[in-house]
Amino acid sequence: MARRGKRYKKMAAKTEACKVFNLSEAVSFLKENASCKFDETVEVAINLNVDPRSADQNIRGMVAMPSGTGKSARVAVFARGAAADDATAAGADFVGAEDLADKITAGEIEFDVCIASPDMMGVVGRLGKILGPKGLMPNPKLGTVTPNVAAAVKNSKAGQVEYRLDKAGIVHAGLCKLSFANEKIEDNIKAFVGATLKAKPASVKGTYLKSVTISSTMGLGLKLNAAEAFGF
């Protein structure tokens, strides 16, 4: 077993008297005990009572962070004509068709989000082996294959976070920076957990949400009182 550092042990000692935190208490704890030289990311892990092997329980989607993420996403858009013009006007960093596909094939992937109008999927489909492993393949479920590319660009720029079930039945994501005001961090957490709750598959029986834990990049995982925080 790896040895724990003094910083970790000091933080752990403070949590022994309170194993479950109210949301506001947990956010305050993370901020008060941050000691890194960089601005840590606030992360959330949601343990769900689902079967990751079941196709109808493969939870995935996008949710806008009401307070933003603290990161400016670089957006690439596959579109032609008026749609391409709309994407450019909305703030897309890269817009193109076959020319954009050629750059990606050549290894030029300098974006965080890839959006495509439906008529461009013939071009984008050939890039599946490149974009798929990087989690960048446009997908209708994520709103990244859409006729309204301008709205998708604006949403991505404003701050969206993907939620996706992993093999252990956990949805995990980084939501924003720890330097955000407490209220803004709490709003983002509520939005993310709320979207995950709304995505509950109809086939799930019994308790859906098992636990919610928040942490910072280098901080402890703090289990939340889900009933208090999310009314669940």
DSSP codes, 135-203: T-S--GGGT-B-S-HHHHHHHHHHHEEEEEB-TTSEEEEEEEETTS-HHHHHHHHHHHHHHHHHT--TT
pLDDT of residue 20: 92
Measured N-to-C along each axis, helices 149-159 and 81-90 cross at an angle, to the nearest 10 degrees, of 20
Positive or negative, the CA dihedral 179, 182, 186, 188 is: negative
pLDDT of residue 143: 92
Q: What is the pTM of this model?
A: 0.81
95-99 long-range contacts, Cβ below 8 Å, gap at least 24?
97/123, 98/123
Task: Tell me which H or E stretch contains 211.
Answer: strand 209-216
CATH 3.30.190.20 intervals, the chain: 7-59+165-230
In order, the DSSP letters of 57-106 are G--EEEEE-TT--SS---EEEE--HHHHHHHHHHT-SEEESHHHHHHHHT
pLDDT in tens, 132-141: 999 999 999 8
Q: Which two tokens stand for residue 214?
A: 């928040």
Task: Please give the Cα distance from 189 to 222 (Å, whole number).
Answer: 13
- 96, β-bridge pairs: 78
Identify whether the C-beta of residue 64 lies closer than 8 Å to the C-beta of residue 159. Answer: yes
Q: What CATH class does 75-158 carry?
A: alpha beta
pLDDT of residue 8: 53
Distance set, CA 111 to CA 12, 104, 114, 131, 171 (Å): 38, 10, 7, 11, 23
CATH 3.40.50.790 intervals, the chain: 75-158
Task: Tell me which H or E stretch contains 128.
Answer: helix 128-131
- When pLDDT is cut at 50, 70 and 90, the band that residue 18 belongs to is low
pLDDT in tens, 42-80: 999 999 999 999 988 989 899 999 999 998 899 999 999
Q: State which fold the 7-59+165-230 domain adopts.
A: Ribulose 1,5 Bisphosphate Carboxylase/Oxygenase (3.30.190)
Residue 154: Cβ within 10 Å count: 15
43 Cβ contact list (under 8 Å, min separation 6): 172, 173, 174, 175, 214, 215, 216, 217
Please give the radius of gyration of the chain, using alpha carbons only, rounded to the nearest integer: 20
pLDDT in tens, 144-177: 999 999 999 999 998 999 899 999 999 999 999 9
